Chains A and B, each alone.
Chain A
Amino acid sequence: MKVGESVRRPDGQAKVHGSFVYSSDLHVDGMLWGATVRSPHPHARILSIEAAAARAMPGVHAVLTHADVPGEKLYGLEIADQPVLAIDEVNYWGEAVALVAADHPEQARRAAAAVKVEYEVLPPVTRAEDGRVLRHVKIRHGDQSAHAEVVVRGDYEIGMQDQAPLGPESGLAIPDGAGGVDLHIATQWLHVDQQQLASILALPREKVRLTMAGIGGAFGSREDLSMQAHACLLAIRTGSPVKIAYSRPESFVGHVHRHPGTLVYEHGADRDGKLVYVKARILLDGGAYASSSTAVIANATCFSCGPYLMPNATIDGIVVYTNNPPCGAMRGFGSVQNCYAHEAQMDKLAAALGMDPVELRIKNALKTGDRLITGQIIDGPVPVAELLRRVRAFPEPAGDGLMPGGYSNTTHGEGVKRGVGYAAGFKNIGYSEGFDDYSTARVRLFVHEGRPRVEVHSAAAEVGQGVVMVQAQIAGSVLGVNDVVVLNADTGVGSAGSSSASRQTYITGGAVQAAAEAVRARVIELGESELGGELPVGNEAALATLLGDAVIEETREFRPRATHHLDPETGQSDAHMQFAFAAHRAIVDVDTELGLVKVVELTTAQDVGKAINPLAVEGQLEGGAAQGLGLAVMEEIQLKDGVIRNASFTDYLLPTMLDMPPVKMDILELGDPNSPYGLKGVGEPPTISSGPAIVAAIRAATGREIDRVPVRPHDLTL
């Protein structure tokens, strides 16, 4: 159980046998099923809600509206602007208006349908250009009137992507009979849920206890509340346990999405290909409520130029409110949208200069000690040029394999052209802009069945990424013990922060390391008094003897270095804690007559600082790239007048095994001097540059400009 080993998942056996309990599998005798009444309009005034008929139905135990919310009626991660249940207005299609609890899920659905809501339909704001500004981030870096010999411009459009975790939103709320509630839930951050729930339910925090249930993926979709408050309200009202489990279509309106955006860029460079300036305007559609939009737009703006040295920059990043579905966190968090734009610009610039696109990137690649457009000096390893060289060095695969169109028999080779494309990207790890980023871990050492055992307890959400293994490996390494048990996360221990921003290995890993080291110090103390200074760490038998009946427990909080607010006029500040970089090469075959794409291979190189669990790191690089591929060629929530037209897996397409190619990779471990074990956050970079590399490859194959993703067949043919 050591850092650097490809340790197997402790939850693996349960998961392959079907006995792992996900939030949707929860059940207790006598539980009720909750259902949600949702708005059929993107914007409307609520004139009345008639619930008597629904209440009178057999098996129906409660129908609740906003009037039944005892505490704060609004919530939100950054700004409390989203109603728990709509009050007098609905602002997006699918917004929750009322709740029902019944003894059978079908009866709950029928009762929900029987709740009559009278609306006065209002015109929705559905174009971001018409939206109300939620945050405007400005970067004014260097010479604001810089000129350049070679200038390229581009307008880019990014579609709305869904996290689409396979496990739908679900959970079980159990009233404790004393006014409090226990919520079993799949969430990315137990404590922020707890805090919001306590204020909504008007209960002290200790009366709202959360226990993590199995999480079927997250990718940002479980940062905001979905059914948490609803289940608690119904449970407290009915006095019975209440389960809510969203269907797939409901899940599409039950969580926030990746912001769609329009990005207008102008790049200037000298004749040798040295970048001179960028002017950019990034407009993201935040939808009806703020969620984490204010942080997403900061990222989109701060990383708008990509991992290149940019002496002069004028960037306006704007996120607006509209009546579209709310947008918020998704893997990559603002750095995905801008990567499509800055990488397309780099290719355009290379073409304008007659330069090789990889050479252009290498020439401008960020290096240690360079200044970012936010003024921050970037420290630690910054291997951008190296990553690009590595992905380029992989041999290219042969031409055989499945044609575009798969088994649909659309081509036997006619019209098929191959293209190769490159992209690089970067983003921050951990929270930024002065947010207090920390995690808490409790480590306990005792003798179990004659051998030392370590128990680790934190509230870190295991969303699939493997933070359970990381915690066990770190505690095991520090204490030299093999039997390490990671307890299920709950609010019985301090906050771990969210499983997002690629931060959990760093921050909770740091907390576990600190707590384990504190335990180790006490073992050494004990050794000194009992054994005259001999250190039994690494020798399990001796350690067990030394410990005897003793239980050594330590709890520690870990904080990485502090970050600072962006200057509101210039965006200059040390706003970020750590940066992670990746590069991708994509090889695609395109049926140029039908516009169908087969991604043949992806190659990536990423600096992970230190691979705590190499197999899990590979899994992140492969899985993250698949989500990048999805946005590049197929995934888009399609809206018409604020209404989602494809809220199902029939028409919101996820990459299948026939779409996702093999990923070849070089994992660099360059060691960050500031972090535990030198590690860097790993989860998000794979999702940033994979898609832009694919689009570059499609451009190379087709000779078309392509300024929007996902790339659709008609974009390549008409």
Chain B
Amino acid sequence: MVLELRIETTVNGGRRVVEDVWEGESLLHVLRERFGLYGSKNACEQGECGSCSVYLDGALVCACLVLGGQANGRSVVTVEGLDGDRVQQSFVEAGAVQCGFCTPGLVVATHDLLHRVPHPTEEQIREALAGNVCRCTGYAKIIDAVNLAARR
């Protein structure tokens, strides 16, 4: 196999360049293994769990479903780029974190939800976060965390 793709992208506000990427690498792989941003998780790599949720040019997407090259010239924001956000604090306080593998994706997805709908109803929360699977919590504390963040 030849590794000859070059990707240039903005990640969390900074310009990042990587050379010699295999064309088949997903944005998730590039973020994790090329840029060392392991916050976005790899629970399924088939779009089903949302643990890899990031912003791509402002839209919430699964990084595992974006081909690395597709991020060329785009702007990516990962959980590492939301540092200090109220959503993160609320997740810790509400007890919404157990193993935490779903958490980074949920933090980004919740950030997106609250940006679009500052005071979501429970039904809106459930529909908006249905693509983020959590195996540990049963979701109750996650909903509490979203409500807590919305109040802040």
Contact = CB atoms under 8 A, between A and B. Distances in A.
Interface of A: 6, 8-9, 11-13, 15-22, 24-25, 27, 59, 104, 106-107, 110, 164-168, 214-219, 245, 247-248, 401-402, 406-407, 463-466, 615-616, 618-619, 622-627, 648-650, 654, 656-658, 660, 662-663
B138 interface: yes
Nearest to A649: B48
B99 A18 contact: no
B135 interface: yes
Contact of B103 (A15, A165, A406): A15
B18 interface: no
Interface residues of B, number: 60
A616 B3 CA distance: 47
B98 A166 contact: no
Contacts of A627: 135
A166 B99 contact: yes
A649 B101 contact: no
Contacts of A245: 42
Interface string B34-72: 001111111111101101000000000000000000000
B1 A106 contact: yes
Contact of B38 (A13, A25, A406, A623): A25
A169 to B, nearest CB: 12
Interface in B1-57: 1, 3, 22, 24-25, 32-33, 36-46, 48-49, 51
B139 A657 contact: yes
Given A27-B38, A465-B98, A657-B142, 4 more contacts: A9-B97, A17-B83, A615-B95, A626-B139
Given A104-B1, A626-B139, A660-B139, A166 B134 contact: yes
| B48, B95, B99: residue with the most chain A Cβ atoms closer than 10 Å | B99
Given A166-B102, A248-B43, A616 B95 contact: yes
14 contacts: A15-B97, A24-B41, A104-B3, A166-B43, A166-B133, A167-B43, A168-B42, A407-B127, A464-B100, A615-B141, A622-B138, A648-B46, A656-B130, A657-B125
B112 interface: no
A271 to B, nearest CB: 41
Contact of B22 (A8, A106, A216): A106
Nearest to A615: B95
Interface of B: 1, 3, 22, 24-25, 32-33, 36-46, 48-49, 51, 78-80, 83, 87-89, 91-93, 95, 97-104, 107, 123, 125-127, 129-143
B95 A166 contact: no
Given A166-B43, A658-B126, A658-B127, A25 B99 contact: no
Contacts of A658: 126-127, 130
Residue in B88, B92, B98, B134 with the greatest tally of chain A CB atoms within 10 Å? B98
Contacts of B48: 648-650
Contacts of A165: 99, 101, 135
B133 A167 contact: no
A15 B37 CA distance: 13
B2 to A, nearest CB: 10
A657 B43 CA distance: 17
A650 B95 contact: no
A214 B99 CA distance: 8
Given A9-B92, A648-B46, A649-B48, A167 B99 contact: yes
